[in-house]
Structure 1
Amino acid sequence: MQTPVVMFVFNRPDLTRRTLAAIRAAKPERLFVIADGPRAGNDDDARLCAQVRALFDEVDWGCEVLPRFAETNRGLDPNIEAGIDWVFSQVDEAIFLEDDCIADPTFFVYCEELLERYRDDKRVWLISGDTHEVPESYFGDLSYDFATWASIWGWASWADRWQAHRRLFDREHVPVDQPGRLVPPHRAVPAPPHPDALVSEAGRRHFTKVAYDADPTSYFWDHHWWVTIINQNGLSAVPRHNLIENDGYGEGATNVRAQKESIPARPLELPLRHPAAVERNRKVEEELELIMVRTDSWISRVARAIIRPLWLRAIVRKIITQPVIWRVVRRLLNR
């Protein structure tokens, strides 16, 4: 596989081993490894980070491994944002996986084909490997369709799109040898949602709040990436079903603390069936917007603050996502 693959890793060797095994099956010619460093005074981190990094000494196919190993802990946003900047200073396009994103083999085929197909179509900013459980029926007989925002649990993009984002979202992080300070999000110009980008009132409220929130702890790097895409009225490709198994839930996770079973990845039928037009699928878009509000809006944050045990959150989630109840919740969210 000629498209470079990028892995973000930290201190979870078992998950890293599973994700690396999926990458091994695809055999990319170049593998970028962006590793955060151990937290100060944390002996477990030091041991586990060393175990993770040692895994890349075992790469056994014809592959150039390009490491970016932080000596100290930079934190999630600085490690990922600066890491993507570093990758896209060297290559024109890439596929990205975090350590807990285990890809089906067809994920790499799908990404490579769409990277080539939409390389010169500047309407398309992001290629996602995860649907967040959008109903498959919304895609008809297509292999994928377009929405505004899409998951970054396995994704691909082009250097020019990311660099356009960074010109607008020009936050700089402290140097690698000065860890520990969170830098507030900063934009060169305001980035309200484009009037044509979102289809639900709940989605507009949520992403407007993200666009103007100056608290560095409120939203991670991915939300700011999405805000740029939404502001530019861009599009993201979404597969008809999950091509990524996210196995990083629970106590060890950095930003996804839940107790739930991962959804297995499934292969896409090949050859891919492409949409006839590059345009937003309103059903897919609305569902993704309301799923975002359900999982990461101020409402969900208040609910998580009240419901502390992960097992109880899992029960509430199972209740809410029952089809009949979810239809009612969708209407309430969209008021």
Structure 2
Amino acid sequence: MLAPVAIFVYARPEHTIKTIEALANNLYAEETDVFIFSDASKNNKTEKDVKLVRKYIDLLSDYKFFKSVTIIKSKTNKGLANSIISGVNEVINLNGKVIVLEDDLVTSPDFLVYMNDALDFYENEKRIWSISGYTFGIKFPKKYTSEIYLSYRGCSWGWATWRDRWDSVDWLVSDYKNFKSEKDLVKKFNRGGRDMSSMLDAQIEKKIDSWAIRWCYSQFKSNMLTVYPRVSRVKNIGLDGSGTHSGISSRYDANLSSSIKRCEFDYPELNDKIIKSFKNKFGTKLEYFVIWNKNLIKKMLRI
């Protein structure tokens, strides 16, 4: 049974069209149930684009791109975090698994093949938290032969998981005070990237509204891993300043294959060199020294 796909859209009509068209060109597309969650406009500035997005997705039921298309339009603006949490809750209960996309992710023709095969292969491997369709430009050791690698950090750019993992998340982060008081825990959490603990701090302080950092924190608490492909099946086209939470960057560009190739899944061990290369994608030591020591730097500048 193929996993249903949940797509979250907002106010980027051009990006949404590219995301839907790429998914429609996937092998398995015509056998896949698709659920599109459209958030309502936050203000007058985005109202026009939200209407354009909804006009486009309304037309999808007239075409047989997918097995079925279900459109859920919010009457109020939920924001990305609440939209994804509630939407995934709804879809994952259908058959215990879900594949998730946002409106700025273009997929390769074998994305659905890769994601469904991975969901089937790792379902009963309880150390696996989620499947990522995206990968960074990682430097792999010469003797590393696996077509996938493992990381301490989940990915929000085209991902999949199972109901038992999703249902275990504590979205309130109720043990945050205890976590913050233990320096060893903070250091351990940052194995997935130097930005992890600072993002969680910002979430608790309500400076950001991120479902993903809470998702990653629960992964850390469960001591579980995410599967990444060596060859990316997802490209983010939204780092062009058009998104609510995205700036402009080419740092995370990925080249997608135009062919369909089945991945040979296995059970590789964590690789220290890959983990280091992965971690370095999230800033330099100097950048995060500045983040963690703002008050100290301010005092030094006064002197």
What band does the TM-score fall into relative to the shorter chain?
0.7 to 0.9
- For the residue of structure 1 that corresponds to 2:3, the secondary structure is coil
Does the Cα contact within 8 Å between 1:197 and 1:234 map onto a contact in 2? no
- Matching residue's letter, 1:74: K
Aligned to 1:207: 196
Following superposition, the deviation at residue 134 of structure 1 comes to: 1.6
Does the Cα contact within 8 Å between 2:186 and 2:197 map onto a contact in 1? no
Aligned to 2:254: 263
Q: RMSD of aligned C-alpha atoms?
A: 3.2
- 1:69-88 to structure 2, matched below 5 A, reads 69-88=73-92
Aligned to 1:41: 44
Aligned to 1:281: 271
CA change 1:205–1:68 in 2 (3 A) is: same
CA distance in 1, matches of 2:189, 2:167: 28
- For the residue of structure 2 that corresponds to 1:152, the secondary structure is coil
CA change 1:77–1:139 in 2 (3 A) is: farther
Unaligned runs of 5+ in 2: 293-303
Is 1:112 matched with 2:116?
A: yes
Does the Cα contact within 8 Å between 2:4 and 2:97 map onto a contact in 1? yes
CA distance in 1, matches of 2:137, 2:143: 12
- 1:1-335 to structure 2, matched below 5 A, reads 2-26=2-26, 27=29, 28-42=31-45, 43-61=47-65, 63-137=67-141, 140-165=144-169, 168-169=170-171, 186-190=172-176, 192=179, 206-213=195-202, 214-218=204-208, 220-260=210-250, 262-266=253-257, 270-277=261-268, 279-294=269-284
Following superposition, the deviation at residue 293 of structure 1 comes to: 3.6
Name whichever of 122-131 and 59-68 sits farther off.
59-68
- For the residue of structure 1 that corresponds to 2:212, the secondary structure is helix
Q: Deviations over 1:25-65 (max 9, x none)?
A: 23143101111112233442343233343343343245222
Does the Cα contact within 8 Å between 1:10 and 1:52 map onto a contact in 2? no
Following superposition, the deviation at residue 203 of structure 1 comes to: 5.2
- For the residue of structure 1 that corresponds to 2:227, the secondary structure is strand
Greater RCO, 1 or 2 (C-alpha within 8 Å, sep 6+): 2
Q: Deviations over 1:49-108 (max 9, x none)?
A: 333433433432452222221122221211112211222233311111111111112221
Seq. identity, %: 22
CA change 1:126–1:194 in 2 (3 A) is: farther
Does the Cα contact within 8 Å between 1:40 and 1:72 map onto a contact in 2? no
CA change 1:201–1:17 in 2 (3 A) is: closer
Give the structure-1-normalised TM-score: 0.73
CA distance in 1, matches of 2:259, 2:220: 27
Following superposition, the deviation at residue 252 of structure 1 comes to: 1.1
Following superposition, the deviation at residue 210 of structure 1 comes to: 3.9
Name whichever of 82-91 and 245-254 sits farther off.
82-91
Q: Deviations over 1:280-328 (max 9, x none)?
A: 2222222222212459x766879xxxxxxxxxxxxxxxxxxxxxxxxxx
- Matching residue's letter, 2:2: Q
- For the residue of structure 2 that corresponds to 1:49, the secondary structure is helix
CA change 1:13–1:204 in 2 (3 A) is: closer
CA distance in 1, matches of 2:240, 2:97: 32
- Matching residue's letter, 1:236: T
CA change 1:200–1:3 in 2 (3 A) is: closer
- Matching residue's letter, 1:208: S
